[in-house]
Structure 1
Amino acid sequence: MVIAVDFDGTIVKHKYPAIGKEIPYAIKALKLFQERGHRLILWTYRAGRDLEKAVEFCEKRGLFFYAVNNNFEGEEFDGTYSRKIYADLYIDDRNILGLPDWKELYETMNNEDSEKAKEGKSKF
């Protein structure tokens, strides 16, 4: 599955252009998604040096993206197609119902029932 994930307000608290504190379990959940074979695309408003700082923030924590603001690494935009990122799932704090807790999001995507989580058998 391809997962496009926002940065500000989703991986970190929204403090743009600064980088806010990491939202609990965000990096951990994203790394677990990768371990399950999902491709992650960083999909953010950031550009230039602000974007580089966001990528560096994630990489320092061991999170590396399949692509950044593109459908695949090396994609070039020439104006003949849409800039919308293709993904099977979009994780963003601007969703209509907001951003769920990362533990809940991970468990929902991996069909971990709440009893398993309550028993401490979840990956979290």
Structure 2
Amino acid sequence: MQIQLKRIYDQRDSDDGYRVLIDGMWPRGVAKEDAHIDEWCREIAPSRDLLKWFGHDRDRWKGFYDAYRRELREGDSTLPQTLREHAQNEGLTLLYAARDEECNNAVVLRDFLKRTH
């Protein structure tokens, strides 16, 4: 299973596979025709309340991580399975807009996809 994480602002590469934007809002400064995405899965993004609480504060990372995993477990189970299939078949790149490359929703989603079956 190949899952990459990449900021939406980074260049597209030939090994990206299936490119999925996983943020609930469209990222600033990116034209849709320049995004080179295969799908926008805004329904898999963390809830607005959770994002607002987190505020990209690293002191809240553990709480965000746990709460977002809970949202993923309780949400639509077909979408994570579809993303796993893309990861296994052609590779998957999860695209996000956050500046922090270590503490963001893509990290949580990648871990969730790899550990949950």
Q: How high is the TM-score relative to the length of structure 2?
A: 0.39
Max radius of gyration: which structure? 1
Judging by fraction of residues, say which structure has more helix.
2
Higher relative contact order (CA 8 A, sep 6+): 2
Q: How high is the TM-score relative to the length of structure 1?
A: 0.37
